A and B are shown apart, each in its own frame.
Chain A
Amino acid sequence: MKRHSVEFTVYGVEPEDVLSVFIKIEDFLAMLPYLVDYGVKDGKLAASFKFRRSIFIHEDECVVKLARMDSTVEIAFKCGKGQLRIVTEASKIPEGTKVRLTVEYSGKNEWVVSVCLDEMALIAKDYIVEMSGSKMPILMEMVDKLPKDDVVKDVFKSASLILRSNLIGSIESDKTDTIYNFVNKLRPFMKKSTYISINQKNSEEAEFASRLLMEDGIIVGAYVKYQDKQLTGPKAVELLKKIRENATINLWEVR
């Protein structure tokens, strides 16, 4: 048997939120790599896989079964040449939910399928994080203030961060969603230490500007200027949950 596991935290959600992402099993199957077809066949949900290692290909047709236990969801693919299982275990922790996701395969051509398991696990992880409504965590023990608010509030300390950072990417936000949600969508791209600068588009007077610092996926510093308000810390994060603006969001990896 070949197996690949990943462990991760989904912040600000309950285990039930994580496990319920599999209720719409077809949506989950649709994003799985190496899956080439799926649908109901003879009254059963069926899926076809095509795994590839270099020039070697392993193809198989499987019947899909979903089983839900207390804190676990197991998706079993009973195939003609072997069995593939995706097991998701969710447990509650103070920050949200801790998840252990395992993808395992036993059967013919394990040596071909094994190299594909890590990619399947990583994509399943991204799907869970996105679909369970993961929230960006902030350090909860400090009520009014975050440890690096002073860094993002100070323009020259922020400039210093930019000077020792690499640009990871930029996106444009619009008024269809809040700035907070736009930033949250970028979480898969964030690094160990990420500085985020948000500047309102087409406004030289900068009615809205924000700077965030994240470490290990947690907001450790937040500053927002919006109209006549200037906020830092958790209050700034709360304000970002209300603001909908056309802005440029730049992500920087701090070295």
Chain B
Amino acid sequence: MKAGAVLAFNSLLEKRIAELYRRLSDVVKDSTAKVIFRFIGADSMKHSEVLKALAEELGYSDTELNEFVGEYRDELVLLDQIGESITNMANSDDIDIKILLETLMMLERVEHHTRGVEELLRECGRLGDETFNKVCRALLSSIRDDEVRHFELVRLIRIFYREMGEE
């Protein structure tokens, strides 16, 4: 496993996810949902920075990075779809609740799908020296816990909008 490249690729994914949350926070009207999306976006940006720092420490090449584009095709397609949905909502005067619910559902899938982090946690023991292993494990565990939190928060917001749509 090319650990440096996986970390670098996941860092790029987190950066894209952070951007999606930032755009979504501009689209929704409810102030609580807006603040929570900004919070998740900021968290994702932080993850991106941490993963990037770890990746740079381990080293990777652009060729290795490109190899993951195919492997992570499903995730990338999902992020594209979320981006398109947010653009559609941003371009209309009133938010289509159905599109918003679908977008949140897709984001739940993104947050639930933390295979990169899980894989890396398993690999941590083989990376760098002992101190690096410990730091790496602590950082990745913290990121994984944040992902669970994001998943729960997005699901709660989806329930809020679904109930609002039913009223």
**Interface positions of A (Cβ within 8 A of B):** 155-156, 158-159, 162-163, 165-167, 170, 197, 199, 204, 206, 209, 250
Contact = CB atoms under 8 A, between A and B. Distances in A.
Interface string B35-66: 01001000000000000000000000000000
A155 B145 contact: no
A159 B157 contact: yes
Contact of B39 (A163, A199, A206, A250): A163
Contacts, number: 41
B156 A156 contact: yes
Nearest to A170: B148
A103 to B, nearest CB: 35
Nearest to B147: A167
B108 A155 contact: no
A155 B148 contact: no
Interface residues of B, number: 17
A155 B145 CA distance: 20
B105 A204 contact: yes
Interface in B125-152: 145, 148-149, 152
Contacts of B145: 166-167
A158 B156 contact: yes
Contact of B149 (A155, A167, A204, A206): A167
Nearest to A225: B159
Nearest to A160: B32
Nearest to B163: A155
B152 A155 contact: no
A204 B108 contact: yes
B76 interface: no
A163 B148 contact: no
B90 interface: no
- Most-contacted residue by chain B among A155, A165, A209 (CB, 10 A): A155
Contacts of A166: 145
B28 to A, nearest CB: 13
A199 B155 CA distance: 9
B105 A197 contact: no
Contacts of A156: 32, 156, 160
Interface string B19-39: 000000000000010001001
